[in-house]
Amino acid sequence: MKRWLFIGTVLLVEVFLAGDLFSATYDLTGTWNYSLSDNWVDSDMGCSAGSDTTGTCTISQIGDTFIFAYTSGVVCNPADACTFEGTVSGEFYACSTTDIVDDEGGEVTSTILFTASSATSASGLGTSNYTHPTVAGTCNWGGNITLTKSGEQPTQYTLTVSTVGSGTVTLNPSGGTYNADTQVQLTAVPDSFAEFSGWSGDLSGSDNPATITMDSDKNVTATFMTDSDNDGGGNGGGGGGGCFISVLFENN
């Protein structure tokens, strides 16, 4: 009779290893709101990625050690699989838990790694890995985690995008309003018979896609050009093309 762990999909992609531990930059003790997103799975055993999840959790920090526990949203079986223990190095937090999840000795090791940008905001990644003592196969899954101290609202900024010419701009993440220090990727998509020329405003250059960091309200313009734009109006200066064609017509 197998007993599986259902843990929303949080949990880490990599473990932060520090040669020397420094005292914690912040004390994150308290109740937090969290969201899990961009969930993924890599499996040949029939595992599936979890859906986006929101809920609450608690952090109990003593010096450079801490306990992280989900209190709502994520469903854990067994229940103690919701509790992670870890260490702090500066603003970096790494914690993990390992649980036996079936009667055959299969276990899931889950790890969360997140970075605190302040005493009220943090974000990171998580992964889980299922292993069985005899059955061959892999089951790995994870996602992003965003943390906001309960009762606190994160600082947010607005990205305003406009276009000149024929084309559109897509944003990743989408939306247009972002928590402070979010990195947003902008991709210029020209219409048929147009090409992307470049960025202006709070973003410059012609890299496509390009990335902007939301540390204030931003305004960005994407410019698209067509062949007629590049011709400069046909009979403008430079003396060459139009005048020469006109002479040929008269000679004929």
Per domain, the residue ranges of the chain are 30-149, 156-230
Residues of the chain with pLDDT under 70: 1-22, 152-154, 229-252
C-alpha triplet 235, 238, 241: angle, nearest 5° = 55
What is the per-residue pLDDT for 17?
41
pTM of the model: 0.55
How many Cβ atoms are within 10 Å of 175's Cβ, its own excluded?
A: 11
Answer yes or no: are the C-beta atoms of 26 and 91 closer than 8 Å: yes
What is the per-residue pLDDT for 251?
40
CB burial readout 185-221, b (16+ within 10 A) else e: ebebebeeebbbbbbeeebeeeeeebebebeeebebb
Tell me which H or E stretch contains 230: helix 227-231
Helix/strand/coil for 252: coil
What is the third-level CATH fold of 30-149? Answer: Lipocalin (2.40.128)
What is the per-residue pLDDT for 246?
33
